[in-house]
Structure 1
């Protein structure tokens, strides 16, 4: 099954549900839209490496050095927003800005202050950018010890406001009311000294973010204020799910995870996959779309599986070979 794709200059962005550490979601920072896009791509690549994704086909590369750093290469176009966005100058400005910004890390053993990126480089007449990041930042992208948020990558990359990005990350997948003190929100967004009047904070931060989420996002919100006397001290945010903005393929996969295998797979097929081919429930779920498609597209799925079982016995990874063979049969058909 193919997921929805978004053209981004010469780069095709395959939409996906991206997992982001709650540590990163609630961190205190002041990033531009372009800086956020760079960070989204770093998160994407860190998780892709963890999942065994190979990036060679889309000009992305990850190299772990001997000096506890990670060298990243990615297309410049993957940081832009569609065909009309050719502002490479802003990408360069974002790289320079991230180079100057500091990430502070502390645990039981050490305190360390790190530039978010180092050595950004764009070769003349090249379509890629490269830079280095410290391994602590790489590890932070994969630290889910305090929870996580899941959001659509293509949607996050569309926003023109960094406040929309922040609210989208906070609200995506959220089903219950969120309460944030005014001062905590201002500190998270790094606008403590920017909007002295709360009405200005609402007008410049909350309302524009809500309007953009209403237009583009599968998750938006309503809000109300909590007061002590006449003074606003905190805000309530009520998540609203807008299915018309949800990627249909990703939503289907999400629903599949919540249903039993027999919802869309025949019992005979499930039984054969488990008993004869030794697939676990998790392995079947991970390849559910493939098995459902094979069930619909191939004339006799049971016969095909039996043939593949015989041929797979001499393979080093029989189940992996069967998966690839099914993909090939579907493609040929």
Structure 2
């Protein structure tokens, strides 16, 4: 199950709990990105499905699902419109995630409809979007870890990203929480990095950067974890490791030779999408 989000939504300002994130991502993974979708389409997820994908107990999922669904109806998201300055003015759109939430008690099922404003950020995406597998974040128990993971995979091809701390606080909607940098690192960044390293396909390292004497930025270096499966040698040459995120010049993407990517590409599929699909297929073997 794949998640597709526009980059504007990846960088938007919002706050969701872990259970709310799981509901949203499970439903987003059902959105058809190759067809025009109206705001009348109903998506659903059950407590049993949430429990299965997150590795939690069904009883716990049942207990949390209804409350999370009710909160989700009230959650908003702030999206920057025209962030590159192509229009006359930079605008901030404040909208909700969903227009309707239905909870079926006997089945432990949540059904929802996305708002009309949200749909362009989830479907018919042809450029400036981020893609990852739902399984990459399903077992994370930190909402900050899920958000940070999305911000990193948005720059997957680069393998590094530097963000301004004030911007990150706004994106996570932390408001007045953790004003001291030591608390911000202890309760937000460090647990998020630990969970990304434990549960996702990425390894991540990070360091802080100062402007003068003040810590103002965080710099992340990351890549695909090397497959634990032994690689066969071919006439003295090591076979390219699928899952090794290093890019060796222009001849490879995510550690996969460009020749392999081009030979494996499906009609209309970009090189990056092909490489990510090959990585997904390699994990399932």
| Matching of residue 156 in structure 1 with residue 141 in structure 2 | no
Cα offsets for 1:265-319 (capped at 9, x unmatched): xxxxxxxxxxxxxxx962899xx9xxxxxxxxxxxxxxxxxxxxxxxxxxxxxxx
Looking at structure 2, the residues matched to 151 and 203 of structure 1 have their Cα atoms a distance apart, in angstroms, of 27
Looking at structure 2, the residues matched to 281 and 143 of structure 1 have their Cα atoms a distance apart, in angstroms, of 18
Q: Structure 1-normalised TM-score?
A: 0.60
Give 1:206 shift: 0.9
- Residues 134 and 19 of structure 1: CA distance in aligned 2, closer, same or farther (over 3 Å): closer
- Residues 260 and 176 of structure 1: CA distance in aligned 2, closer, same or farther (over 3 Å): closer
Asked if the contact 2:14–2:78 (Cα under 8 Å) also holds between the matched residues in 1, the reply is no
Q: 2:97 aligns with which of 113, 116, 122?
A: 116
Q: 2:182 aligns with which of 199, 217, 241?
A: 199
Asked if the contact 1:121–1:129 (Cα under 8 Å) also holds between the matched residues in 2, the reply is yes
RMSD of equivalent CA atoms = 3.7
> Which position in structure 2 is the counterpart of 1:259?
259
Find the residue that maps to 1:78 and give its secondary structure: helix
Asked if the contact 2:27–2:45 (Cα under 8 Å) also holds between the matched residues in 1, the reply is no
Cα offsets for 1:111-156 (capped at 9, x unmatched): 9754322342223322432122222212221264762222221121
Looking at structure 1, the residues matched to 138 and 228 of structure 2 have their Cα atoms a distance apart, in angstroms, of 14
- Residues 89 and 147 of structure 1: CA distance in aligned 2, closer, same or farther (over 3 Å): same
Cα offsets for 1:221-275 (capped at 9, x unmatched): 21111112321011111113213489xxx969x88894358969xxxxxxxxxxx
- In proportion to residue count, which structure has more helix? 1
| Matching of residue 75 in structure 1 with residue 56 in structure 2 | no
Which structure has the greater CA radius of gyration? 1
> Which position in structure 1 is the counterpart of 2:213?
230
- Residues 230 and 245 of structure 1: CA distance in aligned 2, closer, same or farther (over 3 Å): farther
Q: Structure 2-normalised TM-score?
A: 0.69
Asked if the contact 1:220–1:239 (Cα under 8 Å) also holds between the matched residues in 2, the reply is yes
Looking at structure 2, the residues matched to 195 and 99 of structure 1 have their Cα atoms a distance apart, in angstroms, of 26
Mapping of residues 272-291 of structure 1, within 5 Å: 282=267
Find the residue that maps to 1:40 and give its secondary structure: helix
> Which position in structure 2 is the counterpart of 1:43?
28
Looking at structure 1, the residues matched to 268 and 211 of structure 2 have their Cα atoms a distance apart, in angstroms, of 54
Looking at structure 2, the residues matched to 242 and 147 of structure 1 have their Cα atoms a distance apart, in angstroms, of 25
Query: Number of matched residues?
Result: 238
> Which position in structure 2 is the counterpart of 1:91?
65
Looking at structure 1, the residues matched to 120 and 21 of structure 2 have their Cα atoms a distance apart, in angstroms, of 18
- Residues 146 and 231 of structure 1: CA distance in aligned 2, closer, same or farther (over 3 Å): farther
